[in-house]
Every structure is written in C-alpha cells, then in structure tokens.
Amino acid sequence: MQIGEAAKATGVSAKMIRHYEFIGLVPAADRRDSNYRDYSHHDLHRLGFIRRARDLGFSIAEIRDLLKLWGDQSRSSKDVKALALVHVAELEKKIRLLDEMRATLTHLADACDGDHRPDCPIIESLAGRDGLKLSQHH
C-alpha cells in the first residue's frame, strides 16, 4: 500500500506519516523498485494505534512508551494504567487552566461595552494598562 492509501486507511495524513518515520515513531516503510513507500498491514495497525493515542492527547514521548508496552507481551497492565493515569492528571490540569482562561476572558468580555468607542477592557488588559492581572479573575 502506498502512502496515500495508508493515510486514507488510517486517518493519518501522509505528511504526519513521513514525520513519524523521520522521528522514528514508525519504522521507515519498505521501498518498491519505483522508490515508492510500501506499507504493510502491520504498518497500518501501528499508524492506527498512534492516531488513536494522539486523539486521546498523548504526547509523542508517551506514545513511544505505549508502543513499547504494546510490543512487550510480558508487560504488566499496571504499567499501562499508570501511564494512562499520569496522562489523565495532565488533562485535568489543562482543563483547570482552560476553565481559568475562560473565566478571565468572560470577565473581560463582560466589562467591554462592545460599542463604537475605542475603549476596550480586553485590549487594555492584554496591554497591561488596566492595573489588572489577567489571572486575577479565576
């Protein structure tokens, strides 16, 4: 299967497949006599694993660890679970940060009249001229 077909089959763009090969996340595909990449069923399965892990927000480093665990038939599921729980904690931290960002932006938007005048608390706050710290409203 050529790269375009592999991309379509896995939902991973050809550009990302080449990137994953470059960084060693995916072994370089075999080459045909025509020099086109040739992807096997195993390659597609690995790309699908990576796509699903990326969809869950795992970093490249975490995916490397997951791939090692996936390939290790003597792995302990507690190791997989521990990695997943660390990622859950990171996601919870990001959620809290996003909630704080939303609260700050909502407060600033509420303070803005949104009329034809140039005065705008949002711009003033971003410029640091309002005496308010952006993180004050969480």
The pLDDT tens digits for 69-123 are 999 999 999 999 999 999 999 999 999 999 999 999 999 999 999 899 888 989 9
Measuring CA to CA, how many Å separate 17 from each of 7, 60, 63? 7, 13, 14
Measuring CA to CA, how many Å separate 29 from each of 16, 23, 24, 70? 13, 13, 11, 20
Residue 59 token pair: 């970093």
User: Look-up: residue for tokens 């379509």?
Assistant: 8
Which pLDDT does position 28 carry in this prediction? Answer: 82
Nearest to 17 by CA among 52, 44, 56: 44
Question: 83 with 66: CB under 8 angstroms?
Answer: yes
Q: Mean pLDDT throughout 5-18?
A: 95
Say if pTM beats, i.e. exceeds, 0.85.
no
Which pLDDT does position 131 carry in this prediction? Answer: 55
CB neighbour class for 82 (10 Å; exposed up to 12, middle 13-18, buried from 19): exposed
Cα distance from N-terminal residue to C-terminal residue, the chain: 51
